[in-house]
Every structure is written in C-alpha cells, then in structure tokens.
Amino acid sequence: MFDFDLVLPRSVDIREVGMRDGLQLEAPVPLEGKLAMLEALVATGVRRIEATSFVSPKAVPALADADAVAAELSRWPGVHWSALVANPRGAVRAVDSGVADLEYVVSASDGHSRANAGRSTAEAVAAVGEIAALAHGAGGSLEVIIATAWDCPFDGRTPVGRTVDVARAAVTAGADQLCLGDTIGTTTPLRVVTLVDAVRRACPGTAVGVHFHDTRGTGQANALAAVQAGVTQLDASVGGLGGCPFAPGASGNIATEELVYMLEESGVHTGLDLDALLAAARVTEEAVGHELPSSLYRAGGRSVPRSAEARR
C-alpha cells in the first residue's frame, strides 16, 4: 500500500492537428479525401481543429488546396477552426478565405527559423504585430506557436531564456495565446515542466498550450507531465501522423486516440469519443494510403476480454 496523489485537471481541451501537421509530410490528398477526414474527425466530438496551412504551395504541396478546404468549413458550424500561417501574406490569404483564428509559427532557434521560414528568429518575431492586427481586424485571434522550444536539429538545445524571450515578445506584440512546440520530439517531462513554468511566469494571464512529437517515445509522458503542471490545451494528430518538413528527424505527433485513452482512463474529461477516433483513424489511413504509427490504433482500441467460447 502507498499514499500517492496524481494531481490532474477535471478536463482538457485537445486540438486536432492531423489536417495540417499530420498531412504536411504526406503526398497530396485529394480534397474529397480531406473532407472525408474532416467529417470523421468532427464526429469524434473534437471542438478545435487546425484545418490547414496558408503557406507556399511549392514549399508544402500537400496543403496547396488551403483555400478550397477553408471554403468547406461552414459545413460544420460547431467547430472552432484555425489555420497556420508563416507570414503576413499567409495571414491575408487565411482571413480572405474566412479563417480568422490564426496560428503563427516562430522558431526559438535561428537555425530552424532560417530553414523553416527563411529568416532569423528576431525577424519572425517582428511580424507578430502585423499578423495579430490582421487576425483581430477580422474578428479572430492569434496564437503564436513557438517551434523548437526545447531543442533544434541545427542549433542543439534551446536555452530556456531564449524561448521565454520569444514568448514575452510575442505577447507584447499582440499574441492572444502561446503554444510550446517540441518540434523534433526530444524533450522529457522535467524539461517540459521547467519551460512551461518559466513561460507562464514571464507571460502571466496568457494561455499556454503544448504540441509534442513522439519521435523518441516520450510524447505521452510529456503530455502527462504538462497536464499535471496545469496545462489544459494540447495538440494531437489522428493516428499519430505528422512531422516538420524543415526539421530532419521530426516524425509523428502524439496520436489523438492515444492521448484520449490515457486521459480518459485517468479520469480527465476530453469530450472526445474513442471509438469515433478509431473510425477517424481508419478514414485517415485510407486517405493517406499507408499504415498509421499509432499503437492504440493498431491494437484496436481498449482491451476487450475474450468470451469463454472464443478461448476454446
């Protein structure tokens, strides 16, 4: 016997990023396939979906149909839709397409910033104000996602102070909330809690979410550590799809169905239906044309005891 309390929130808010981060490394999926994925994802009960990214079609051909996807989102009025942008031009495209809730990526490391966006971190931060103004002018919001918040594939470990400085500058320039990205899946629970605490102290009153990759098998552990630290906004991708095309070795995100399974079985309400998530994973697998990395999906969901007849 032992006395141990696992302190967890009553509920969390999961954002589904499979439509953007999940597909950006894939061969282009036809619009019909993407709409089938969206239909299946909405059926899970998810309240927030990152629908697409308004970036250069040459850089990310899998998302070249961002405008066409955005034009279909009114089919599902109960979902909070957002889109990622890489610069003010992308923000204008998104707003003109009817998506006013924007995500803008700023890499905490110069090496990844130059590979991902062709400019330094300081130059990327300098655009936050303009993008925030575009989002706010359209009645939307701006979330700054800080990529390579813990580690960079080019520059190595990102100092905590550097990520904190980017966070503070983004909020000062007009960001409504922040998200810390483990772009190459290298961080660990203690480092997660340390950085989350530092960013919160620097930006009091600003919501801080997390975006983990499971490249080295620590994604779920990091998510649990973040939730224990009070984080209630987490990103996940159906089937564990995803990765960054400009970060060597950045494989899939944490799988939405695995995150939901872990949290719901721990008494944390997500509002997402696990069976519907498995169905969405099947639709996604068909759309991308290959097996998904999610262990839970391959296992078929929750364990179901076999009947006495089945054991004979």
Q: What is the share, in percent, of the chain residues with pLDDT greater than 90? A: 89
Q: Give CATH for domain 13-299.
A: 3.20.20.70
Report whether pLDDT(264) > 60.
Answer: yes
| pLDDT tens-digit map of 157-178 | 999 999 999 999 999 999 999 9
pLDDT at 310: 55
Confidence label for 107 from pLDDT (cuts 50, 70 and 90) = very high
Name the β-bridge partners of 14: 234
User: Considering only 75-84, 145-154, 193-202, 239-248, which range has the smallest mean pLDDT?
Assistant: 239-248
- 161 touches 202 (CB < 8 A): no
pLDDT at 308: 46
Residues with catalytic annotation? Answer: 244
Confidence label for 127 from pLDDT (cuts 50, 70 and 90) = very high
Report whether pLDDT(238) > 70.
Answer: yes
Q: Provide the mean pLDDT of the chain.
A: 94
Q: Can you tell me the mean pLDDT for 98-124?
A: 96
| pLDDT tens-digit map of 176-226 | 999 999 999 999 999 999 999 999 999 999 999 999 999 999 999 999 999
Q: Can you tell me the mean pLDDT for 284-307?
A: 91
Q: What are the boundaries of each domain within the chain? A: 13-299
pLDDT at 298: 93
3-state secondary structure the chain: CCCCCCCCCCECEEEECHHHHHCCCCCCCCHHHHHHHHHHHHCCCCCEEEEEEECCCCCCHHHCCHHHHHCCHHHCCCCEEEEEECCHHHHHHHHHCCCCCEEEEEECCHHHHHHHHCCCHHHHHHCHHHHHHHHHHCCCCEEEEEECCCEECCCEECCHHHHHHHHHHHHHHCCCEEEEEECCCCCCHHHHHHHHHHHHHHCCCCEEEEEEECCCCCHHHHHHHHHHCCCCEEEEEHHHCCCCCCCCCCCCECEHHHHHHHHHCCCCECCCCHHHHHHHHHHHHHHHCCCCCCHHHHHCCCCCCCCHHHHC
